[in-house]
Structure 1
Amino acid sequence: PYTLWVATLYQDELRAKADQEDGWAKGVLNSPPWPLLLAQERLALRRAGRILALSPHTAERIQTLLPEAADRIETVLYPIDLEAFKPDDVARQQSPYGRYLFLAARINDPRKNVGMLLDAFRLIHEQQPDLKLVMSGELPNHSLGRQASDLGLDDVIVFLGPVEKDELIRLYQGAELFVLPSLQEGLGIVVLEALACGTPVVATRCGGPEGIVIEGQTGILVDDRHDPAAFAQAVLDLLTQPDQLEALRISSAAHARQHFAEAVIAAQIKRAYQHIGHHPPHPLPIFRAAAVAWAVIIFGFYMFQQLRLRWPAIQSQLIDPIWGG
């Protein structure tokens, strides 16, 4: 028997990418091996002695896919180093960016929905002209950079690109709010890190955050993932109520200590392993061999499909220059 720790279902991940016109994801979903990949995912879940879902949303999705596995599913969040990720009032007071909203993400991933955030920040900036938007993780692609310029926000949006861990922590600690405008998240580890630093979160209802961002305790959830005005209003509602914002900072850090600490997560995982003994006995060797053969077949089909999808790029970038030269 084995335990699975699942961040998100593979099918959910690919479909979210395909919805944002990701050509690779569309290719996989429409490929001959896709039913085999789905079957492999279901088989791995069905045979698991225990399934640890990384968020309540993921647990719900797995239970929808396999109702018979309900008694083997539990939510175990990602552990956060609370010795490092912790509140620091000095970081907020001495921030080189003044007052700012913060996002740490792969901002060029369409699922992060940063374009909507830029539109929302334009509305926020009209009401809070001294506020900045700071983003780390990646430097913007041409489209995002152009959008920021077209909105007249070049002076108040800071694109940092990748940052070291110590700087990332200071950015969490110094922010007024952490903002997550995503279209789809299995969990959102950045949300856990922000809350551990005592920074409340404004996030869209996109899956993972719905089990972490608690209204009146750790932040606000915005129902419409495509409405900049609604997102902006949620941010402004907190920024214009300093007493409520301060209370959220305190309760966010307390929530993190109670639910995200490494010792808490370790205890949950230990209990999960203790329950594996109730799983059915090991399959016969012939079934194990069949499972290995099945995995090899699926992997072969998958790699063939990847090669087929990427062949034009391989040919133009590798083969033609070599043989043509």
Structure 2
Amino acid sequence: MNGIFIQEQALALAKRFPHIQIGVSLWGQQKEDYLLWGKDLARNILKLIKGRKKTGKTNLARQPLPNFYEWETSAFTWTDKYKQGNLRGIQKANEQNLLAFEQIVGKVDLIHAHVCHKAGIIASWLSKKKGIPYLITEQMSPFPFTQILTRQGTLTKKYRDAYEQATINIAISPDLKRRMQKMGIPNIRVIPNLADEQFFIPAKKSPANPFTFFTLCDMRVQKDLPTLLKAIKRLLSADHSARFLIGGDGEMFDEWSSLSNKMGLSQHVDWLGPLDREQARHYYQQAHAFVLPSQHETLGVVFLEAIACGLPVIATRCGGPECIVNKDNGLLVETGNPKELALAMEKLMENYPSYDKMTIRNFHLEYFASFPICNQLMKTYYEVCTQ
């Protein structure tokens, strides 16, 4: 399991249905200590020496609720080009986690894999070995990853088998479902991710002037912040007063923050760096609106967090946001178009009083909050277990 939003979904399920037992299987996939990079030989050797005694040992990493367990058996991983990135070691690590969970709760009824690469492959292997049915929630962005394709652009056999042998495949947006169907993946239904409505709440007070846009993302090429910076330049050139708060970290952070300064935007754009959940909520509540001009999004959990806080949003027509953004909660623009994005920001600022934060939040509560999503998931689990 990878990604804070996946963890939040599992926790929400445990809270909503205290009679079920949930075990989360971790293999160190979020820890730099177990990632071996091809050109970093010296550091890899140090990682191997340091981590050798820790790998293969199963630990109860966390138990935040009586019916929620996080098991971790760390395994090294590397490029898929060599021994499939240590797939065998990762499979064995997850099997150890499963066995540890079974010692406490007894027989496991189903496995829920998040993303076929690699969790779906692991679930397929465990299913064959243990006779446990499984389902896959897919949320690759973009879909499909090149790692799961043949040179002809079709799914490789192991990934096709994993999807076909899953009882149900879940897409987190209608756009992703269409993409999966084009690849011949069967038994697909749409269940989006959720954002915790009890945590992400509207601010008690209206945000202070000047008008403030908040952006939060992993600093990767697909987030296309240069388009946002160009749009900001256009907006400010038209004598509009606005402030921009940009949160997040990643491979493009230095380049993009430097670009912002070179464009003369340093007085209007604050680069906040990495934010934890509490900090993210703070900045949602300090902002008037949220904006992110991604090149592609499978869904876009940050948009869900924004509307949970009652913020109008500006997004691009890039796959996922189309099922989130409507006339009552924001605006959609084309990808890679700073002129259109600047006009959208101007329009939102001018029409800001017409956006009602409770109307925006209520849309989230109806479609993307814990109650509706957990109910859909539990219904799906029962289907898997009774087939």
TM-score for the superposition, normalised by structure 1: 0.71
CA distance in 2, matches of 1:172, 1:229: 25
* Residues 168-216 of structure 1, C-alpha deviations (whole Å, 9 max, x = no match): 10211221211111111111111110110001110111111111112x1
Equivalent residue for 2:320?
208
1:119 is paired with a residue of what secondary structure? helix
Q: Which has the higher contact order (CA 8 A, sep 6+)?
A: 1
* Residues 230-285 of structure 1, C-alpha deviations (whole Å, 9 max, x = no match): 111111111111332x23x3322111111122121111011112333675xxxxxx
Equivalent residue for 1:160?
272
CA distance in 2, matches of 1:125, 1:191: 24
Equivalent residue for 1:226?
336
CA distance in 2, matches of 1:162, 1:183: 21
Q: 1:76 aligns with which of 183, 191, 195?
A: 191
The amino acid that maps onto 2:293 is: P
The amino acid that maps onto 2:201 is: K
1:270 aligns with 2:270: no
Q: 2:247 aligns with which of 136, 145, 168?
A: 136
Equivalent residue for 2:328?
217
1:180 aligns with 2:295: no
- Taking a change above 3 Å as real, the CA distance of residues 213 and 11 of structure 1, as seen in their structure-2 partners, is closer
- Taking a change above 3 Å as real, the CA distance of residues 278 and 84 of structure 1, as seen in their structure-2 partners, is closer
Equivalent residue for 2:361?
253
TM-score for the superposition, normalised by structure 2: 0.60
CA distance in 2, matches of 1:157, 1:241: 22
The amino acid that maps onto 1:92 is: P
Q: 1:117 aligns with which of 213, 228, 239?
A: 228
Higher strand share: 2
Stretches of structure 2 that go unaligned for 5 or more consecutive residues are 1-132
The answer on whether the counterparts of 2:154 and 2:183 sit within 8 Å (CA) in structure 1 is: no
The answer on whether the counterparts of 2:231 and 2:339 sit within 8 Å (CA) in structure 1 is: yes
- Superposed displacement of residue 66, structure 1: 1.8
1:191 aligns with 2:331: no
Stretches of structure 1 that go unaligned for 5 or more consecutive residues are 15-27, 280-325
2:304 is paired with a residue of what secondary structure? helix
Equivalent residue for 1:239?
349
* C-alpha RMSD of the superposition: 2.6
The answer on whether the counterparts of 1:46 and 1:66 sit within 8 Å (CA) in structure 2 is: no
Q: Tell me the matched-pair count.
A: 254
1:90 is paired with a residue of what secondary structure? coil
Q: 2:144 aligns with which of 6, 9, 12?
A: 12
Within 5 A, what are the aligned runs for 1:91-102?
92-93=207-208, 98-102=210-214
Identical positions, percent? 27
1:158 is paired with a residue of what secondary structure? strand
- Taking a change above 3 Å as real, the CA distance of residues 190 and 11 of structure 1, as seen in their structure-2 partners, is closer
1:2 aligns with 2:114: no
- Superposed displacement of residue 99, structure 1: 2.6
Equivalent residue for 1:311?
none
- Superposed displacement of residue 149, structure 1: 1.9
Within 5 A, what are the aligned runs for 1:243-322?
243-244=353-354, 246-247=355-356, 249-276=357-384
The amino acid that maps onto 1:176 is: H
The amino acid that maps onto 2:302 is: V
CA distance in 1, matches of 2:163, 2:135: 9
